[in-house]
Amino acid sequence: MGLDPQLIESPESLKHILAFEGQGLAAPNKLVHLIFRSSDNIRLVYGARNISHFAWEFDVLNTDGLPHESITQNQLHMLTLVDEVWTQCTYSKDVLTRHGVRNVHVVPTPVRFESDRPRLSREESLEALHEVIAAPLTLTTWLGRSEHMDLAAYGVSYLVRNPLLHASGRVFLIVCNPGDMRKNLLNSIEGFLMGSRPSDLLIVKLLIPNEGDYLFGGVYEKLSPLFHGPGCTSSNRVLFLLDYLSDAQMAALYALADFYLSAPHCEGYNLPLLEAMAVGTVPVSNRHTSMIDYIDDSNSVIIEHKSYTGLIKGMAGDIARRTYAVAVSDRYQIAKAVQAASTLSPSSYNDRSIASQERVMRAHSEKAIAVLLEARLTAPRTDLTLKVPRSCNCV
SS3 assignment for 55-118: CCCCCCCCCCCCCCCCHHHCHHHHHCCCCEEEECCHHHHHHHHHCCCCCEEECCCCECCCCCCC
| 79, 102, 123, 252, 263 from 38: Cα distances, Å | 10, 17, 42, 32, 25
Q: How many residues does the chain have?
A: 395
In this predicted structure, the answer to whether residue 40 has a pLDDT above a threshold of 80 is: yes
What is the reported pLDDT for 383? Answer: 53
Question: Average of pLDDT values for 138-159?
Answer: 87
**φ/ψ of residue 176, rounded to 5:** -165, 160
Instruction: Report the percentage of the chain scoring pLDDT > 70.
Output: 95
What is the reported pLDDT for 212? Answer: 86
**85 and 383 Cβ atoms separated by less than 8 Å:** no
Q: Per residue in 249-280, is it b (16+ CB within 10 Å) or e — as a string?
A: bbbbbbbbbbbbbbbbbbbbbbbbbbbbbbbb
What is the reported pLDDT for 118? Answer: 82
Question: Average of pLDDT values for 381-386?
Answer: 55
Q: Is 15 or 86 the better-scoring residue by pLDDT? A: 86
Phi-psi region of 190 (alpha: psi -120 to 50; beta: other; left: phi over 0): alpha
**51 and 35 Cβ atoms separated by less than 8 Å:** yes
For residue 102, what are the contacts with CB-CB under 8 A and spacing of at least 6?
Answer: 80
* Separation of alpha carbons 296 and 288, rounded Å: 10
In this predicted structure, the answer to whether residue 266 has a pLDDT above a threshold of 90 is: yes
What is the reported pLDDT for 357? Answer: 95
In this predicted structure, the answer to whether residue 272 has a pLDDT above a threshold of 50 is: yes
Q: What are the pLDDT digits (tens) for 88-109? A: 999 999 999 999 999 999 999 9
Q: Mean pLDDT, the chain, as a whole number?
A: 91
| DSSP three-state, residue 221 | helix
* Separation of alpha carbons 28 and 45, rounded Å: 8
In this predicted structure, the answer to whether residue 77 has a pLDDT above a threshold of 90 is: yes
In this predicted structure, the answer to whether residue 141 has a pLDDT above a threshold of 90 is: no
**201 and 171 Cβ atoms separated by less than 8 Å:** yes
Q: E strands along 207-254, which residues? A: 232-241
What is the reported pLDDT for 31? Answer: 92
Nearest to 320 by CA among 96, 42, 101, 63: 63
In this predicted structure, the answer to whether residue 394 has a pLDDT above a threshold of 50 is: no
In this predicted structure, the answer to whether residue 115 has a pLDDT above a threshold of 70 is: no
| 100, 170, 234 from 173: Cα distances, Å | 39, 10, 18
Name all domains of the chain by residue range, CATH numbers in brackets. Answer: 11-110+369-377 (no CATH), 122-363 (3.40.50.2000)
In this predicted structure, the answer to whether residue 395 has a pLDDT above a threshold of 50 is: no
- Which DSSP symbol is given to 365? B
Question: Average of pLDDT values for 192-207?
Answer: 97
What is the reported pLDDT for 301? Answer: 98
Q: What are the pLDDT digits (tens) for 290-330? A: 999 999 999 999 999 999 987 788 888 988 888 899 999 99
Q: Per residue in 358-371, is it b (16+ CB within 10 Å) or e — as a string?
A: ebbbebbbeebbee
What is the reported pLDDT for 218? Answer: 86
What is the reported pLDDT for 230? Answer: 86
Q: What are the pLDDT digits (tens) for 365-378? A: 999 999 999 999 99
**φ/ψ of residue 301, rounded to 5:** -105, 115
What is the reported pLDDT for 384? Answer: 41
Reported confidence tier of residue 114, pLDDT bands at 50, 70, 90: low
- CA torsion sign, 312 to 317 to 321 to 323? negative
In this predicted structure, the answer to whether residue 2 has a pLDDT above a threshold of 90 is: no
Least confident of 161-165, 227-231, 268-272: 227-231
In this predicted structure, the answer to whether residue 385 has a pLDDT above a threshold of 90 is: no
Q: Biggest alpha carbon distance in the chain?
A: 68
Strands 157-158 and 133-140: antiparallel
**208 and 180 Cβ atoms separated by less than 8 Å:** no
Strand order in the sheet with 84-87: 32-35, 49-53, 84-87, 104-106
